Structure 1
Amino acid sequence: MSEQSTSFSPDTALMALYQQFSTAQTPLWWFADEHVAAQPLPAARDNWRSFSNRCDIATLLQAAGYPVELGDFVLPLDAEPPKSVCYRVSKEKALVHYLINQALAVLPVGGSLHLAGHKNDGLHSYAKKAAGLVGAVAEIKKHSGAAYIATIHKRSEPSGLLPDSDYTHIQEIASSPSLYSKPGVFGWQKIDRGSALLVEQLPVFLAGFSQQPKSLVDLGCGYGFIAVMAAAQLPASHWLLTDNNATALLAAHKNCDVHGIDAQIELADCAAGLSGPYDAVLCNPPFHKGFAVAGSLTDQFIAAAHRLLKPKGRALFVVNQFIPLERKAALFASAEVLAEHEGFKVVCLSK
């Protein structure tokens, strides 16, 4: 298996939702998750607002003229309520349930929720459960590319809530050591296998330094697992934790506080706008952006690591085994595979 092309396949569900924009009542609110990166945006219209928890998506929306609320999907309580809410359902069930609950709460009676997705995204189930809460029947229509749009006209105030795994709260997911995460973070209830393999190789990686690194970056940090585990071996270290997901950084802050990690935590897309130099970079780069496979993401993270490192600095990456990281890392003086296991490999890059 080879790494996928850097281009995205069109998301037909998102295309169907964009068609819905032209007829939806305003004010219109749009919950824009990471899948929005998959294709060009329609032009913004008057009396629209968009909400995202990812800074790269917020940048795309702003460039297209959309007013954007960047954060953990916290909706304004003092704003004019929307008559329409549009949402291409996300990959994570808890987030979908949370946003449906938010939409049904903020919409007035008579307002409409428009959900887009495919059958295997759970679109039909989401739509029927949402409709049942507000005395409605979901109107589900098939569009090209096996996409569906479900429209729920709010007939009454919600009779309850869809279970959202206590979305708004940061939760302890492990006790030895204590780790905290929350819904809306990739793999929020588990320890990622690739990240765990990277941590296993830390002693070998650190042994390659003439002096233990004092400044490190957790690049694409998520809830901060790698930094927590590495900081235990480097108690005097200073850290930069960065991710494009505002939700993830809420949990990263919590983990750094709990473990007393000296950390600067920054919301940035692949460390854009951040500068070094740092002694070391640790990275488990994302392989997917939304529902699409994004081959160029690995290249972006390699370039960011090289830029952030001091001369003679070193980076430790974990990637899927089939990604030719050693070939991609031509910016670096050397690349050494330290481990391969369960479909992952850990590679040390020396500047």
Structure 2
Amino acid sequence: MSQNLQINTLNLQLSRYPQAASSDLRAWNAADELLVEFIDNLDEAPATILLLNDEFGALACALMAHYRFAKSNIYWLSDSFVARQALTQNLQANQLNSDQRLTILASTSAMPKADLVLMRLPKSLNYLEQQLIGLQASLSAESQFACGAMLKGLPKSVFGLFEKHIGNVSTSLAKKKARLLFGHYTGVQSTSPYPKRWQIADYQWQLNDHANVFCFGKLDIGTRFMLENLPQGEFESVIDLGCGNGLLGLRALSLYPRATVSFCDESLMALASAKNNINLNLPEQLERCSFNHDNALQHQADQSADLVLCNPPFHQQNTISSHIAQQMFKDAKRCLRSGGKLIVVANRHLGYHPLLKSYFGGYKLLASNNKFVILSSTKR
């Protein structure tokens, strides 16, 4: 469902992606509104604008719709497949032609020189630090830099990162539980610690994680529990769904020597991390792997897998929601062949049992401890 964002002369119809799963949630928040008001009050239009972490394309649409920015070159950088799809969806809904003014960049790309940087504060402090270090090559003393943040997601450590990697930071007054942070670049130069090398001694794995990967630089306890309880079998096609840094798929390559393994995630940095980690530990097995930037398994073929492994997230961007797990389970059923299995690890309190029963007709408890359960459902 699209909703109306109206600020001064700006009037946009915006929706989240995917629409059906989030019809009651807006595609922007008060931090976006503050950024739109900020650009509306600029004295002159910058020649080059860099947008970072524009969650559902609201900022890009605002710039594209504003006549003052008709000659500005706009660079849009995001790690998220969902954000990219939402951007395309909302540009089309508002009949905004991106033509040659809007350039989409991958999160692993270098940042261009910019007269104005507009950022939505990312949830991950590691990713924020990586982006601030990357911006040192983009900013000059004359550049303007505004970052929109909701107060509930603005820890004091953010200000320390700005001061360390940008130089100076000031803030706007709070409005609707949001505020802007203004970065004033002073020429500081930092050495990036990303990606990070680390290891898991239990499996003799050497790992190399990008900044925005889930459970960066450490082994998630749910993933550890699932690694210890993967099913036995002669599987030929395995999907690591929401792969993160690829540990489940990495283990699958060893356990199922005949299987191809598809790593799927909506984060580009997750896929880059997964590929790094296969290359470090099982480089001879890369030909058995594919890496797919996707929303769950939206673009994966029907009846193409024997086994889907999943440690589902329970939030989209900064919003807690069960719809991602629902989409993952629904897509897994479509992609599984008859007799194929979905294996899920989850916190006990999340209660995925009814969902699995509704999609698959039932489930089995494979393992449990005081925090997690591992559930198995078979496609009939």
TM above 0.5, yes or no, is yes
Q: Distance in 2 between matches of 1:303 and 1:328?
A: 9
Match for 1:278 among 300, 305, 311? 305
Match for 1:188 among 208, 216, 236? 216
The one-letter code matched in structure 2 to 1:74 is: S
User: For 1:322, what is the secondary structure of its paired residue?
Assistant: helix
- Give per-residue Cα distances to partners, 1:32-75, cap 9 Å, x unaligned: 16xx2598975342422210111111111223336352422423
Q: Distance in 2 between matches of 1:84 and 1:115?
A: 11
User: For 1:264, what is the secondary structure of its paired residue?
Assistant: strand
Superposition map of 1:55-204 within 5 A: 55-65=81-91, 67-77=102-112, 81-119=113-151, 121-122=153-154, 125-127=157-159, 130=162, 136=168, 138-154=169-185, 156=186, 158-161=187-190, 164=192, 166-167=193-194, 169=195, 171-175=197-201, 176-180=203-207, 181-202=209-230
Asked if the contact 1:124/1:150 (under 8 Å) is kept, the reply is no
Q: Distance in 1 between matches of 2:296 and 2:277?
A: 21
Asked if the contact 2:167/2:183 (under 8 Å) is kept, the reply is no
Matched, 1:16 2:34: yes
User: For 1:328, what is the secondary structure of its paired residue?
Assistant: helix
5+ long unaligned stretches in structure 2: 1-20, 65-69, 92-97
User: 1:223 matched to which residue of 2?
Assistant: 245
- Give per-residue Cα distances to partners, 1:198-231, cap 9 Å, x unaligned: 22222xx33xx5xx21211111111111111233
The one-letter code matched in structure 1 to 2:260 is: H
What's the RMSD between the two structures over aligned residues?
2.8
Change (3 A) 1:133 1:230: closer
Change (3 A) 1:269 1:70: farther
Which structure would you say has the larger RCO, counting Cα contacts within 8 Å and 6 or more residues apart? 1
* Shift, 1:171, TM fit: 2.0
- Give per-residue Cα distances to partners, 1:248-299, cap 9 Å, x unaligned: 1111112223224321111111122111411111111111122110211111
User: 2:62 matched to which residue of 1?
Assistant: 43
The one-letter code matched in structure 1 to 2:81 is: C
| TM-score (normalised: structure 2) | 0.78
**Number of positions where the alignment pairs a residue of Structure 1 with one of Structure 2:** 330
Deviates more, 1:303-312 or 1:324-333: 324-333
User: For 1:232, what is the secondary structure of its paired residue?
Assistant: helix
Identity between Structure 1 and Structure 2 (%): 18
Asked if the contact 1:279/1:309 (under 8 Å) is kept, the reply is yes
The one-letter code matched in structure 2 to 1:160 is: Q
5+ long unaligned stretches in structure 1: none
Matched, 1:241 2:268: no
Q: Distance in 2 between matches of 1:242 and 1:278?
A: 13
Change (3 A) 1:104 1:152: same
